[in-house]
Amino acid sequence: MNYIHLPPKISRNMILRRSNVYIVEGEVQVLEGVLLRAEDGVKILVINGKFKKSRLNRSALIFNQGSSFKFVNLTISAADENYKKAKIADNGGVWFLGTKDNACKDRIKIRRNVKSPNSLFTGKKLNLRFLGRGDDPTKNHDDIDGISILGVDKHEWSVDSISSYYSGDDALDLTNSHISIKKLDIKSPSEDGINLSSSRLEIHSKLIISSLKNGVKDRDLFDFEADNGASYLELYKGASINIEGVFGDQLHIYSQEMPKPITRDKNERTYRFNKKLKNSALIFTIDRD
């Protein structure tokens, strides 16, 4: 196997070949104006453990504002120092930064930049395994989500499918963003399935979330925040929905088919729905977590 370390700053256009395995060790940034292209079937390993030079104190792959990423079927997984796939999430995950809004999370901060070229993230299927990090017992750093999308709008995002399994914190986090996905598959996140912070997420074809408690506290299907505006999850007519877990606190739902959930604080009752929608549905919050 040919292992290639990605440089800390990718400053020139680059093609990732499927004959190689690419290593993210420390913080790797794809800079503004740079196109990173991945052949079908490329694998990227994100090394677990502490890396003090990273803003996240962990290895992370970060697509900066104005960068571009094109792929077909890509897998990004956690790995140990010997490049063996790990079954624990102890890394900084993957980050996509847009140009359309201000956003700040986990020491990563962006500002709306009309002078920057648009970010552009396009692909068929993004497979994420054991990305992110759980609670830090030292309290020096917050937990980190598997995939984080900040300040990205629909003109910058064209990824058909995401699967995020066994994330260290939330499986998918949007902050001040608006994107559309055909298929989203989430399995056993350490905390919440979908976290929206003043964001809008559209699901067109399929949503799967398996997020049973199994003795874990603070694990919900949905966690929406409205610090800078409302958050919405739009489920399109004809979409197949298969969700199982605690619904989430203080949320609203508009649906002719999905049963009304219990959304009061500290509710631990499991919510299940497995059906193809005959009508569109909306889950949202307009005022609080």
Task: Report the residue count for the chain.
Answer: 289
Q: Report how far apart, in Å, the C-alpha atoms of 41 and of each of 77, 162, 167, 218, 275 are.
A: 13, 15, 21, 35, 31
Span of 26-35, 97-106, 154-163 with lowest mean pLDDT? 97-106
pLDDT band for position 169 (cuts 50, 70, 90): very high
143, pLDDT greater than 90: no
How many C-beta atoms surround the C-beta of residue 276 within 10 A?
A: 12
Q: Identify the band that residue 88 occupies on the pLDDT scale cut at 50, 70 and 90.
A: very high
b/e 41-59 (16+ beta carbons within 10 angstroms → b): ebbbbbbbeebeebebbbb
What pLDDT does 12 receive? 97
Is it the case that residue 4 has pLDDT exceeding 70? yes
pLDDT in tens, 62-86: 999 999 999 999 999 999 999 999 9
**Predicted pLDDT at 136:** 64
Per-residue pLDDT tens digits for 223-280: 999 988 899 999 999 999 999 999 988 899 999 999 999 877 677 789 999 999 999 9
pLDDT in tens, 6-49: 999 999 999 999 999 999 999 999 999 999 999 999 999 999 99
Both tokens of 190, joined, read 């350490």
Q: Which residue has the tokens 């619904």?
A: 247
Indicate the average pLDDT of the chain.
Answer: 93
Supply the pLDDT for residue 277.
98
Select from 193, 247, 251, 201 the least CA-distant residue to 225.
251
Torsion of CA 277, 181, 253, 147, to 10 degrees: 140
pTM, to two decimals: 0.95
pLDDT band at 141 (very low <50, low <70, confident <90, very high): low
User: What is the distance between the alpha carbons of residues 159 and 126, in angstroms, rounded to a whole number?
Assistant: 8
Q: Give the span between the Cα atoms of 230 and 57, in whole angstroms.
A: 31
Handedness of CA 228, 233, 236, 237 (dihedral sign): negative
Q: Closest Cα to residue 150, out of 74, 223, 99? A: 99
Among 159-168, 217-226, 259-268, where is mean pLDDT lowest? 259-268
Q: Cα–Cα distance between 95 and 86 in angstroms, integer?
A: 20
CA distance 255 to 253: 6
Query: Any idea where the domains of the chain sit in the sequence?
Result: 2-285
In angstroms, the CA 67 to CA 46 distance is: 20
Look at residues 129, 138, 114, 117 and name the one whose alpha carbon lies nearest to residue 64: 117
Question: What is the model's pLDDT at position 212?
Answer: 77
